[in-house]
Structure 1
Amino acid sequence: MSTTDAPSFAGLRVATFESRMAGPIAELITKYGGVPVTAPALREVPIEDNPEALAFAERLIAGAFDVVLFLTGVGTRYLAQAIETRIPRATWTAALNQAKVVVRGPKPLAPLRELKARVDLQAPEPNTWHEVMTLLDAQLPVAGLRVAVQEYGKPNPELIEALERRGASVTRVPVYRWVLPEEIGPLRRAIAAVAAGEIGAALFTSAQQVEHLLQVAAEEGREADLRAALGRATVVGSVGPTTSETLREHGLPVDIEPEHPKMGHLVAAVAAGWRAVGKAVPPAL
């Protein structure tokens, strides 16, 4: 590939709604010649005094679960922290190792290693509930099994329903929830810029970012303009299938989705492919 063909935003303004990784994704956008517009759309809030986590640990110790499914790394850490306010680590992790431990993707692996917990099955990319169910159907049929699911952000009803349809007894273990950032000024300004046709690309790295973007846009009276701009003038990049599914459920386009559901792959894919989408993007700065 020649220098002229190298992936580049060529000065486009690129909106990102990341929170924890706001700095790194802005650096990547800049690296690819874009102007980052950073507008965090959510923050993770641990569920304080989490009775569900403690009840889960007590039932786990009593041998009440055959399978424990971990969905996220952050949620796995928060779950351990909540449990260990009352129950020693060695006690509950010994019980965990008596069950089958399944992870949705790679992110729970590090915290589980720290806990010295065994991992029996890991779902492949793109790490959605579909891959989890395909894996279980092939290697660990759940009919008649008692399954605990560490939930993240908001519930995943499709996963719960799929498990129950196969005859599993499912216990949900909510560990953290998503709320809007304490300061939503940057998000409001980004919405106004998108609605005005000033943003060349918008990058979504989680489904909840989509929910919050539309929520705030509606509160600001800009939802119709936002939707029109995302359809006409702003290239929409989605990190992976779960986020893409949410965008489409809300009637929004998915112009570019990388082969691998990773933030760096998303930025590179949009930098390489935005021109081919054919939208009337605004002039570069």
Structure 2
Amino acid sequence: MTELDSPTPLAGFTIGITAARRSEELATLLQRRGANIVTAPAIRIIPLSDDTELERVTRQLVAEPPQIAVATTGIGFRGWMEAAEGWGLAEELRETLSATRMLARGPKAKGAIRAAELREEWSPASESSAEVLDHLLAQGVEGVRIAVQLHGATTEWEPVPDFCEVLRMAGADVVPVPVYRWIPPEDRTPMDRLIEAIVTSGLDCVTFTSAPAVASLLMRAKETGLLEAVLHALRGRVLAACVGPITAAPLEELGVPTSMPGRARLGALARHVAEELPRRANRIQAGGHNLSVRGGCVVVDGQVRQLAPAPMALMRALARQPGRVVSREDLLAALPGGGEDTHAVETAIARLRAGLGTPKAIQTVVKRGYRLALDPTESYDNPRPATSAPRQPYPGRGTNPGARPVFPPRAPGPDQSSASASFRQAHSVTAHTEFPAAPAPVRPVRVADSAVAPASSGSVRPAVPQARPVDAQAAGRPVPAADSPVAPASSRSARAANTRTAQAVRAVDAAATSASSDSARPADTQARSVDPSAASRALRPAGRPTVPAQGNPPVTGSGVPVRPTRPAPSLGAW
């Protein structure tokens, strides 16, 4: 079961209530969901049943009925009817209003009108006084007598303070009806404690049910010098829950984000808070436990753990950087009252571990500080590696991993064979054409002054490499017939070629042996050039023509032969 599905989704949360009326009803709705409640009425209502001004206005309207009457609040309209009942003017006032076009600002005012056995003509969907004003101005109000039941707030906090003045400027005859007044409470100590809890993050949420309550709280915060701190907290971790858009208007004008239900009802507000707060909770998996950091406590695996202010302050500081190391100096600054002794941090950490019921959630990093020991799936320093796909077997190997892979043949291009044939025909590549291959490395031998290679005492010369025969069939040329002079040699001719190769090697070795005895000859006269044609004739296999020799390479002053640079074959040779 998740926290949202729990019967007590607000367990561990602390919520402030600023309502002066129906505060007990709202507190009961929130306490049933597990919340801790801090009640601090921000306003109080003064009824005006004995006010001579309200009685005078009522008798004036009965004598001179208005064409339009505007009810702004439910409590105000009901209070007006109750006051008229005490004066003996209830029936006369009801008859007067029944012949009047009634406009209701919101659903509460609409309900009060219907409770008085009257019927409203129109009500805005936005529940806004501004929309009511626009509606009247659009219809034209010049010369129209309009009775306006006032909101009850002071001039500074009236949602639309110039409502009556705008109608007068448009030519209307406006009759204000002051039913009650909202003023600050006599005892402001609870409101001061509520403001302190907002600043110190002792609350998770503050509920507002009227715009005057918002105004009164902000005015008191300004008087105590904590207005900026309150606004900073409401813009951060403390949720400002308002019953509707009219109530939220003063906060939104100051850049404070608000949250409200779809309908401006007290029950809808309680349900909305129960859904919104668990979503905003900082949930962490550390030390094998599920932690949810709330206002004044931590929920560990579904159990509420109440913590003292100092351990709770450190828990919030660690939870703001989950998995990151927080130094002792930063934790010391987060403690209530601060200080300079870092031992206070160690004491608070020990109390925090004891309060959580598990020491594994808080990890000590030697000479650095502390951090939350996040589980591998939650760790920032050691992120969980991405799951890779299973290794696929090689094609053709099957279930035997030692088998040699068999890859499918590559399909030739659409014009590959025809292009090769055209290329060979264009350049007349035939079987008798053979190009010398790159020289292959052969073991070095000492050569002497003989018919095969010149001798040199102590000089080492590489033997002339054998030209690699070209396979006509592999080169794409037509294979000659068996009686052709370039036909492939049989097995007997191959053995004969190997025999001649061995004889040539023995001759080279004999020449090297004779060169070792002839050491009296000067070094510069002993050096000779190697005859590549003689060596190639000795090593040439039977039946294989070779490229004619280009002559002996030139010899330097010291007798070292210089290898000639073979020019690169031109495109025509291919």
TM-score normalised by the chain length of structure 1: 0.85
Deviation at 1:104, TM superposition (A): 1.8
Deviation at 1:276, TM superposition (A): 4.9
Deviation at 1:221, TM superposition (A): 3.2
Distance in 1 between residues matched to 2:151 and 2:262, nearest whole Å = 24
Q: Give the number of the structure with larger relative contact order, counting CA–CA contacts within 8 Å between residues 6 or more apart.
A: 1
Distance in 1 between residues matched to 2:101 and 2:172, nearest whole Å = 14
Amino acid at match of 1:255: T
Match of 1:206 in 2: 210
**Aligned counterpart for 1:254 among listed residues 233, 246, 257:** 257
Q: Does structure 2 retain, via aligned residues, the 8 Å contact 1:67–1:148?
A: yes
Q: CA RMSD in A?
A: 2.8
Match of 2:148 in 1: 149
Distance in 1 between residues matched to 2:240 and 2:91, nearest whole Å = 46
Structure 2 unpaired stretches of 5+:
283-292, 298-305, 307-574
Deviation at 1:22, TM superposition (A): 1.5
**Aligned counterpart for 2:200 among listed residues 196, 202, 227:** 196
Deviation at 1:213, TM superposition (A): 0.9
Q: Cα 1:255–1:98, aligned 2, differ >3 Å: closer, same or farther?
A: closer
Cα-to-partner distance string for 1:94-139 (whole Å, 9 max, x where unaligned): 22222222222232345444544x323241444221343465567x
Q: Cα 1:57–1:282, aligned 2, differ >3 Å: closer, same or farther?
A: closer
Q: Cα 1:235–1:242, aligned 2, differ >3 Å: closer, same or farther?
A: same
Cα-to-partner distance string for 1:77-99 (whole Å, 9 max, x where unaligned): 22223334444322232222222
Name the structure where helix makes up a greater proportion of residues. 1
Q: Cα 1:31–1:125, aligned 2, differ >3 Å: closer, same or farther?
A: farther
Distance in 1 between residues matched to 2:164 and 2:133, nearest whole Å = 10
Deviates more, 1:59-68 or 1:216-225: 216-225
Deviates more, 1:232-241 or 1:216-225: 216-225
Deviates more, 1:174-183 or 1:48-57: 48-57
Summarize the alignment of residues 214-225 of structure 1 with structure 2, pairs less than 5 Å apart: 214-225=218-229
Deviation at 1:275, TM superposition (A): 5.2
Q: Cα 1:252–1:213, aligned 2, differ >3 Å: closer, same or farther?
A: farther
Give the secondary-structure state (helix, strand or coil) at the position aligned to 2:95.
helix
Distance in 2 between residues matched to 1:63 and 1:27, nearest whole Å = 46
Match of 2:246 in 1: 242
Summarize the alignment of residues 1-285 of structure 1 with structure 2, pairs less than 5 Å apart: 3-6=2-5, 8-47=9-48, 49-113=50-114, 115-116=116-117, 118-133=118-133, 136=136, 141-154=140-153, 155=158, 156-164=160-168, 166-249=170-253, 251-274=254-277, 276=279, 282-284=295-297, 285=306
Distance in 1 between residues matched to 2:77 and 2:104, nearest whole Å = 10
Match of 2:399 in 1: none
Cα-to-partner distance string for 1:216-236 (whole Å, 9 max, x where unaligned): 223333323222222222111
Larger radius of gyration: 2
Distance in 1 between residues matched to 2:119 and 2:20, nearest whole Å = 29
Amino acid at match of 1:42: I
Q: Cα 1:265–1:73, aligned 2, differ >3 Å: closer, same or farther?
A: same
Distance in 1 between residues matched to 2:57 and 2:167, nearest whole Å = 18
Deviation at 1:13, TM superposition (A): 0.8
Q: Does structure 1 retain, via aligned residues, the 8 Å contact 2:137–2:170?
A: no
Distance in 2 between residues matched to 1:141 and 1:174, nearest whole Å = 25
Q: Does structure 1 retain, via aligned residues, the 8 Å contact 2:110–2:120?
A: no
Structure 1 unpaired stretches of 5+:
none
Distance in 2 between residues matched to 1:131 and 1:190, nearest whole Å = 34
Deviation at 1:17, TM superposition (A): 0.6
